[in-house]
Structure 1
Amino acid sequence: MFTLYNPEPYDLSSYNISGQGWLMNCYFQHINLGTGELQFEWSALDHVGVNETFVLPDSTEVSGDGLNPTSPWDYFHINSVDLNSDGDYLVSARHTCAVYKVSGQDGHIIWTLGGSSSDFTFAAGLNFSFQHDARFLEENDTTTVISLFDNASNGYNQTARYSAGKILKLDLTTNTVSLIQQFVSPYQFISASQGNVQLLGSQWNTSNAFLGWGENAYISEYTSDGTMIQQGHFATSGSMNYRAFKHNFTTNPLDAPALYTYAHNTTAPTSYWMSWNGATKVAQWQIYSGQSQSGPFALVGTVNKTGFETQFTAQSYYPWSIVKSLDADGNPLKNSTRPIRTFVPSSQLAALCDITQCPLATSVSTSTASTSTTATSTATSTATSSNAAVNIRSRGGKVGEMALAAMAGVVPFM
Structure 2
Amino acid sequence: MGGSQRSSAFNLRPKGRSSLRKGSACALACFAIAAGGCGSSSKTASGPKFQHLVSRPDLRPPSVTIEVASEGAAPGYVFIAPKKAVRQEGPLIVDDRGQVVWFHPLPLGVADFRVQRYRGRPVLTWWQGHSKFGRGRGNYVILDSAYRRVALLRAGNGLAGDEHEFTITPRNTALITFYEGRGDVIDSGFQELDIATGRVLFEWHALGRIALAESYAKRRGKAPFDYFHINSVELGGDGNLLISARNTHAVYEIDRRTGAVLWRLGGRRSTFDMGPGTTFAWQHDARWRSPTTISLFDDGARPQVEKESRALLLHVDLRRRRVTLVHAYTHPKHLLSTSQGNMQVLPDRHVFVGWGAEPWFTELAADGKVVFDGHFIKGADSYRAYKFEWNGHPPGRPTVVAHKSGDGRVTVYASWNGATSVSRWQVHAGATPAEMKPLRTVERAGFETAVELRTDAKFFSVGAIGPSGTEATSGTVASG
Matched pairs, number: 306
Q: 1:320 pairs with 459, 462, 470, which one?
A: 459
- Cα drift, residue 309 of structure 1: 2.5
Q: 2:226 pairs with 62, 65, 74, which one?
A: 74
Note the 1:153-172 alignment, pairs <5 A.
Answer: 153-154=301-302, 156-158=303-305, 160-172=306-318
| Cα deviation digits, residues 106-125 of structure 1 (max 9, x gap) | 11111111111011112224
CA distance in 2, matches of 1:302, 1:150: 49
- Tell me: CA distance 1:320–1:118, structure 2 relative to 1, closer, same or farther (3 Å): same
CA distance in 2, matches of 1:197, 1:247: 13
- Tell me: CA distance 1:256–1:30, structure 2 relative to 1, closer, same or farther (3 Å): same
Structure 2 runs not aligned, ≥5 long = 1-174
Structure 1 runs not aligned, ≥5 long = 10-21, 59-64, 344-414
- Corresponding residue number in structure 2 for 1:186: 332
- Corresponding residue number in structure 2 for 1:151: 299
Note the 1:334-373 alignment, pairs <5 A.
Answer: 334-337=472-475, 339-343=476-480
Note the 1:1-400 alignment, pairs <5 A.
Answer: 1-9=175-183, 22-58=184-220, 65=221, 67=222, 71-139=223-291, 144-154=292-302, 156-158=303-305, 160-201=306-347, 207-236=349-378, 238-263=379-404, 268-295=408-435, 297-327=436-466, 329=467, 331-337=469-475, 339-343=476-480
**The structure with more radius of gyration:** 1
- Tell me: CA distance 1:273–1:163, structure 2 relative to 1, closer, same or farther (3 Å): same
- Tell me: CA distance 1:336–1:41, structure 2 relative to 1, closer, same or farther (3 Å): same
Kindly indicate whether the alpha-carbon contact (under 8 Å) linking 1:300 and 1:314 is maintained by their aligned counterparts in 2. Answer: no
Kindly indicate whether the alpha-carbon contact (under 8 Å) linking 1:194 and 1:242 is maintained by their aligned counterparts in 2. Answer: yes
Indicate the structure with greater strand content.
2
Q: Specify the code of the residue in structure 2 equivalent to 1:29.
A: Q
CA distance in 1, matches of 2:399, 2:196: 39
- Corresponding residue number in structure 1 for 2:33: none
CA distance in 1, matches of 2:188, 2:323: 27
Q: Say which SS state the counterpart of residue 51 (structure 1) adopts.
A: helix
Kindly indicate whether the alpha-carbon contact (under 8 Å) linking 1:214 and 1:241 is maintained by their aligned counterparts in 2. Answer: yes
- Corresponding residue number in structure 2 for 1:346: none
- Tell me: CA distance 1:294–1:25, structure 2 relative to 1, closer, same or farther (3 Å): same
- By relative contact order (CA 8 Å, sep 6+), the higher-ranking structure is 2
- Tell me: CA distance 1:304–1:48, structure 2 relative to 1, closer, same or farther (3 Å): same
| Cα deviation digits, residues 376-410 of structure 1 (max 9, x gap) | xxxxxxxxxxxxxxxxxxxxxxxxxxxxxxxxxxx
Q: CA RMSD in A?
A: 1.8
CA distance in 2, matches of 1:153, 1:302: 53
- Cα drift, residue 264 of structure 1: 5.3
CA distance in 2, matches of 1:124, 1:322: 63
Kindly indicate whether the alpha-carbon contact (under 8 Å) linking 2:277 and 2:325 is maintained by their aligned counterparts in 1. Answer: no
CA distance in 1, matches of 2:278, 2:478: 67
Q: Say which SS state the counterpart of residue 289 (structure 2) adopts.
A: strand
CA distance in 2, matches of 1:252, 1:31: 29
- Tell me: CA distance 1:253–1:34, structure 2 relative to 1, closer, same or farther (3 Å): closer
Q: Specify the code of the residue in structure 2 equivalent to 1:55.
A: A
